[in-house]
């Protein structure tokens, strides 16, 4: 819609609207195909009929022939073209499985595939997701439903402001412009000297606007409750707590819409920090499990490949590939403290929503 309005000539001349994955797939097999999982993240795909949604296409000003053919995430092709088999050192008999989206695969690769499992991923941004056999309707449109495979749905929400918010604070307010001066876990561990709850300092982490659950590009970052006793480490800890509260807020929605959370599986860059993992256990009041696999999405892609090739008969058999390395158990006292702050955090956005919008108008 943006391209149609802002760059109408480019929009009119475009033959196909595709992702980078579809571009690579086309060069391998000369076919425009997209898996249901990637397609379900476009806003143009009907996850119930497994076809492009006519209403969404009309709004976007597209016809289905300008998009790729939707196929199952276990769809397999052989016989790569254009002599690429020689360049890649492969034979034409090697099967290529088209796979799924990285968020869905992170659930699979971190072990969060059973009823009550919650996947928490924090890198630059962040997300929480649960798996179910059916899409979960949210009348307030706060969460997404993506397909992992033909019969498995991943329901959740993503935030814009994960590790990027910590990077912003450290570089701008702690005199650490040299990004390599301290590693991530060290930065977070420095806040261990500050009590949970940051002595009443609360941070809305909407530095880059926000996706779930507020869906507001005008949302802004806010430090709330500042008093003279707060130090730079209080501010840093409140940033970490604010990111965690945003994910907890989505987790509460998933409990309301999908199922009660029983276990949490962590993935992404934040698993480097035992301090943050303990904080997540305390906030959610659930056990947090970590596999320490380098990339949960890559592990999930491998498992989906095993399913496509018949090496396993269901995704539930994936637990044989997952080995839990460490677990973190909630501390009830800390949970009670965090919930006092969260009760304020949860209402601040609605109280400031109008002012955020007015600020955005001033800056245009």
Model pLDDT for residues 110-135, shown as the tens digit of each residue: 999 999 999 999 999 999 999 999 99
pLDDT at 181 over 70: no
Degrees to nearest 5, angle at CA 49 with 48 and 52: 110
Last residue of a domain, one of 51, 81, 97: 97
Indicate whether 88 and 110 sit together in one domain.
Answer: no
The three state secondary structure string of 150-217 is: CCEEEEEEEECCCHHHHHHHHHHHCCCCCHHHCCHHHHHHHHHHCCCCHHHCEEEECECEECCCCCEC
Indicate whether 291 and 159 sit together in one domain.
Answer: yes
Where does the pLDDT of residue 312 fall: very low under 50, low under 70, confident under 90, or very high at 90 and above?
very high
SS3 assignment, position 251: helix
Indicate whether 23 and 166 sit together in one domain.
Answer: no
Indicate whether 113 and 90 sit together in one domain.
Answer: no
What is the total residue count of the chain? Answer: 364
Q: What pLDDT was estimated at residue 150?
A: 86
pLDDT at 176 over 70: no
Stretch 308-320: mean pLDDT = 90
Where does the pLDDT of residue 180 fall: very low under 50, low under 70, confident under 90, or very high at 90 and above?
low
Exposed, middle or buried, 40 (CB in 10 Å: 0-12/13-18/19+)? buried
Both structure tokens of 322? 């997952």
Q: What pLDDT was estimated at residue 151?
A: 87
Q: What pLDDT was estimated at residue 294?
A: 66
Indicate whether 181 and 78 sit together in one domain.
Answer: no
Domain CATH for 33:
3.30.420.40
pLDDT at 292 over 90: no
Residue 226 near residue 206, CB atoms below 8 Å: no
User: Where in the sequence is the domain holding 20, given as residue range(s)?
Assistant: 2-97
In eight-state DSSP terms, residue 112 is -
Last residue of a domain, one of 65, 97, 129: 97
In eight-state DSSP terms, residue 133 is S
Stretch 266-292: mean pLDDT = 95
Q: CA-to-CA distance for 151 and 109, rounded, in angstroms?
A: 17
Indicate whether 238 and 348 sit together in one domain.
Answer: yes
Q: CA-to-CA distance for 353 and 198, rounded, in angstroms?
A: 24
Indicate whether 131 and 92 sit together in one domain.
Answer: no
288: left (phi over 0), alpha (psi -120 to 50) or beta: beta
Indicate whether 141 and 252 sit together in one domain.
Answer: yes
Indicate whether 132 and 210 sit together in one domain.
Answer: yes
Q: Which residues are registered as beta bridge partners of 203?
A: 223
Measured CA to CA in angstroms, residue 157 lies from 8, 28, 111, 125 at distances of 32, 32, 18, 11
DSSP state string for 74-89: T-EE----TTHHHHHT
Stretch 322-337: mean pLDDT = 96
Where does the pLDDT of residue 82 fall: very low under 50, low under 70, confident under 90, or very high at 90 and above?
confident
Indicate whether 73 and 206 sit together in one domain.
Answer: no
Last residue of a domain, one of 97, 130, 147: 97
Indicate whether 137 and 83 sit together in one domain.
Answer: no
SS3 assignment, position 71: strand
Residue 244 near residue 279, CB atoms below 8 Å: yes
Q: What are phi and psi of 327, to 5 degrees?
A: -135, 155
Indicate whether 228 and 340 sit together in one domain.
Answer: yes
Q: What pLDDT was estimated at residue 178?
A: 46
Model pLDDT for residues 187-232, shown as the tens digit of each residue: 999 999 999 999 999 999 999 999 999 999 999 999 999 999 999 9
How many domains does the chain divide into? 2
């Amino acid at each position: 819609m943006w391209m149609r309005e802002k760059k109408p000539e480019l929009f009119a001349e475009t033959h196909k609207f595709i992702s980078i994955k579809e571009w690579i797939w086309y060069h391998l097999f000369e076919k425009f195909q997209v898996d249901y999982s990637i397609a379900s993240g476009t806003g143009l795909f009907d996850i119930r009929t497994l076809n492009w949604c006519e209403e969404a296409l009309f709004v976007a000003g597209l016809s289905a022939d300008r998009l790729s053919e939707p196929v199952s995430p276990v769809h397999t092709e052989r016989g790569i073209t254009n002599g690429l088999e020689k360049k890649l050192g492969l034979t034409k008999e090697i099967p290529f499985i088209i796979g799924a989206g990285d968020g869905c695969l992170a659930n699979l690769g971190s072990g969060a595939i059973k009823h009550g499992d919650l996947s928490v991923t924090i890198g630059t941004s962040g997300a929480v997701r649960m798996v179910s056999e059916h899409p979960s309707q949210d009348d307030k449109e706060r969460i997404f439903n993506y397909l992992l495979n033909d019969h498995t749905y991943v329901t959740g929400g993503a935030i814009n402001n994960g590790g990027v918010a910590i990077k912003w604070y450290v570089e701008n307010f702690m005199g650490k412009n040299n990004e390599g001066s301290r590693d991530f876990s060290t930065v977070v561990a420095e806040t261990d000297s500050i009590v949970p709850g940051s002595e009443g300092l609360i941070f809305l982490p909407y530095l880059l606007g926000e996706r779930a659950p507020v869906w507001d590009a005008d949302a802004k970052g806010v430090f709330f409750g500042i008093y003279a006793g707060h130090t730079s480490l209080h501010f840093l800890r409140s940033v970490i707590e604010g990111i965690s509260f945003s994910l907890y807020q989505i987790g509460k929605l998933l409990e309301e819409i999908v199922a009660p959370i029983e276990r949490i599986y962590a993935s992404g860059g934040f698993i480097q920090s035992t301090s943050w993992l303990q904080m997540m256990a305390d906030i959610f009041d659930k056990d947090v499990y970590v596999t320490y696999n380098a990339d949960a999405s890559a592990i999930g892609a491998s498992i989906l490949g095993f399913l496509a090739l018949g090496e396993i008969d269901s995704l539930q058999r994936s637990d044989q590939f997952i080995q839990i390395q460490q677990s973190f158990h909630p501390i009830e006292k800390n949970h009670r403290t965090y919930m006092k702050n969260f009760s304020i955090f949860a209402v601040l956005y609605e109280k400031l929503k109008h002012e955020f919008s007015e600020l955005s108008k001033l800056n245009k």
